[in-house]
Amino acid sequence: MILIPITWLFLVLIVLIEAKMDLTPTLQQYAPNVCPKLASVLSRLLEATGDISKKLREGTSHEQAGTQNRFGDNQLEVDIATDKIVFDALKSCGHVSVASSEETPEETDLGGEGYSVGFDPLDGSSIIDANFAVGSIFGVWPGRGLLNRTGREQSASVLSVYGPRTTAAIALSGSVTGGDPVAFEVTLSTKADQGYYVSKERLVINPSGKTFAPGNLRATSDFPKYRELVDFWIKERYTLRYSGGLVPDVYHIFIKSKGILTNVSSATAQAKLRLLYECAPVGLLVEAAGGATCIQPPFPPLPSEDSGAPPPPPPEPITPISILDVPIDNLDKRVGVCYGSTEEVDIYKRFLF
């Protein structure tokens, strides 16, 4: 009988478990020459989403933590817990130089080298207590630093959803694939320590599709063009698909391969979505799947309370551009945005610009 030291068995077990969370073979199907450092970063991010999924199912408190992040947003205990899970995963990776999140909105040095990550550890905190699906959003940029970059420079992005199943949409940019960008879906196995498996080899958004998710609907009260667009959707008998969470609502577009999501701001309903942590990473996924993205135009100013004053001048027109081409010149930069099927985004542009 051959006796094997317990320490050897322990090391073998660790190797087996880590191997199951190694995305390299999967990534190589889409990008044969994928950078090992990028593969490691994405593997650790998926590992973190698995940990977050488990923590949410264990009933981590959704109560207020009694603290605020630097932006002044009230934090839930679960926000803080999930933020720590992601930072720990990225630090252990060794290939992330800096990272920044909605809960820790500063470029935090993680001591690694290769990539920088901006993320929202738990998108949908306002609906989590109702047991709606929520998610996480990650953007991965090459090199060091996140400020003064654009979403177009991303190497990859990930959108995870914690619902009846835990899934993640992954986008790889053309700079990684060596050709066209790609988007695909993986699903977390329900079997212990089995990791993720590819559940959709390609995510594709068709050119048109009559479903709509009108975020920040309050803006229609003082942004007439947005109200006209919503009226158009209703008149044309579009189907409403809206939960109030960016992650599940945009994920619906990926899975149904059609539709449009808007989050438009106005003078009385300001933008809430942040370019770095939410809009740019989601934008890479949408465009990698064949969809389109667009910024929103300036909203009209409120009329003066002085009845004798002349009306304020209309805002200067701007050119509609992809959300991926907007510079990240502030970690807290918030923007109005549109995602979806190319023809549906064209309709959005026709009404708002």
- Domain of 26, CATH number, reads 3.30.540.10
The answer as to whether 272 is a domain residue is yes
Question: And the tokens for 274?
Answer: 């942040």
pLDDT of 349 over the 70 cut? yes
* 8 falls within a domain: no
Res 69: pLDDT: 66
User: 254 and 127 in one domain?
Assistant: no
In this prediction, residues 173-186 reach a mean pLDDT of 99
pLDDT above 70 covers what percent of the chain? Answer: 89
306 part of a folded domain: no
Condensed to tens digits (0 to 9), the pLDDT of residues 197-227 reads 999 999 999 999 999 999 999 999 999 999 9
Q: Which residues pair with 213 in a beta bridge?
A: 261
Total domain count, the chain: 2
Residues 215 and 161 in one domain: no
Q: How much of the chain, in percent, has pLDDT values that exceed 90?
A: 82
The span from the CA of 348 to the CA of 263, in Å, is 11
* Residue 4 within a domain: no
Q: Which domain holds residue 230?
A: 211-300+319-352
Write down the pLDDT at residue 344: 99
Q: In what order do the strands lie in the sheet with 337-340?
A: 239-240, 211-215, 260-263, 337-340, 292-295
Domain-ending residue, one of 179, 200, 221: 200
pLDDT, residue 67, reads 67
The Cα–Cα gap between 141 and 43 comes to 15
Residue 178: phi and psi, rounded to 5, are: 80, 10
